[in-house]
Amino acid sequence: MTILRGQVKKHVLILGAGFAGLELAARLSGSAADVDVTLLDQNDSFHFGFAKLDVLLGRRDAADVRLHYEDISKDGVEFRQETVTLIDPETRRVTTNKDSYEADILVVALGAEYDFAATPGLQEGGFEYYSLEGAARLRNALADFNSGTILISVLGHPFKCPPAPFEGAFLVHDQLLRRGVRDAVDIRMTFPMAAPVPVTKEVSEMFARALDERGIECAPKQLVTSLDVGARQARLASGESVPYDLFIGVPVHRVPDVVERSGLAVDGWVPVDRTNLATRFTGVYALGDVAGLPMAKAGVFAEAAARVVADDIAAGITGAEPPAPYEGIGNCYVEFGGGIVGKVEANFLGGPEPTARLLEPSREIAAEKSKFGPARRARWFGSDRAARTHSPAGPPA
């Protein structure tokens, strides 16, 4: 079925049902704009990024952290599980493996994909926890790891959730400590940035101190380009090599192939007007991880961008005043192990330079984090079915 322009209601087509797509659909459902929303995603369910840590630590199984899209119950919103195969931003025409669509307003929120092949050897001899499947596989490997060197490496930049590689290091340290084998394991990190979480000097220094306190050795400005799986050596761009017994990598990120083929991307990501996330194509927005903005890629920032886009779409339809410019504001929770959680409060675009601060880890912030998922689940899905089936899991008490 082809949905044609010219209907009384405006048709908003959202590609991708992650943080950005779900927040935008929910906002449009409750807005003054008279719209029909079609939400497309190739997957049948959503999971929060922090759920991968729950799987990694064995707190939950992968099947238990999924929120199924069939449970979405929002007025004016229809979800369809389809794979986008072609995007024409000039005509706002989209083709999928099942159908074709023409939209009045097209929103590209397909996120960033992982390019495992960009780091030879990673698939054959490495681990990652940026996917649910990868987190489960790493959980099993860590359960049998009692001595040697664990090397955790960021393999490209930008990547989702800048604190996550360091958060993973904290939690691996904590798990080994509880198992009584930490003294027999060296944990090392390499990353291409000049410092961990380099949004501000203050935040970087706090992460650096936390790593040092846990005896985690760091090598900034060092990029692993490939793995010699047989020799268990990680080769650096400098030409040197780093030995390891267990390699954990944060994969290279890139836009999905369908976005690259569409002509939307420039220099790897989709350029947008930073005030309202509009692309250079009329009636086409791009938000979330796919957007090329000078800021971190994380769900909370995609969510904030979706609020601006929803208001901008509504203003264009109703004639209301456009929203205030997008400022790239968001709060990221960071697990430090031992049941305590910190919080990074950041503003990337609201001033002449980014600002951020890290609130000291505490059990109070851990309790605050535990409410994050249920609040969004209720807002995005609009029913209690998912809430009855999927309960949140936060840091251990």
Three-state SS at 3: strand
Torsion sign, CA atoms 45, 49, 55, 59? negative
Rg of the Cα atoms in the chain = 21
CA distance linking residue 122 with residue 40, whole number of Å: 31
Residues of the chain short of pLDDT 70, as ranges, are 1-7, 383-397
pTM of model > 0.75:
yes
Do the Cβ atoms of 155 and 249 come closer than 8 Å? Answer: yes
What confidence score (pLDDT) does residue 383 get?
62
Tokens 């991307």 map to which residue? 265
What confidence score (pLDDT) does residue 6 get?
43
Please report, in angstroms and rounded to a whole number, the separation of the first and last CA atoms in the chain: 51
Tokens 């490496």 map to which residue? 153
How big is the CA angle at 26 (ends 22 and 28), to the nearest 5 degrees? 120
What confidence score (pLDDT) does residue 22 get?
98
As given in the structure block, the two tokens for residue 372 are 């994050």
Angle between helices 372-381 and 19-29 (to 10 degrees): 50
DSSP 77: E
Q: Which residues of 117-184 form beta strands (DSSP E)?
A: 148-154
Angle between helices 164-179 and 132-143 (to 10 degrees): 30
What confidence score (pLDDT) does residue 32 get?
81
CA distance linking residue 128 with residue 156, whole number of Å: 13
Tell me the per-residue pLDDT of 14-37, one tens digit each, with 9 for 90 and over. Answer: 999 999 999 999 999 988 888 999
Asked, as a colleague might, if the bond just before 89 is cis with ω within 30 of 0, I would say: no
Return the amino acid letter for 93.
Answer: R
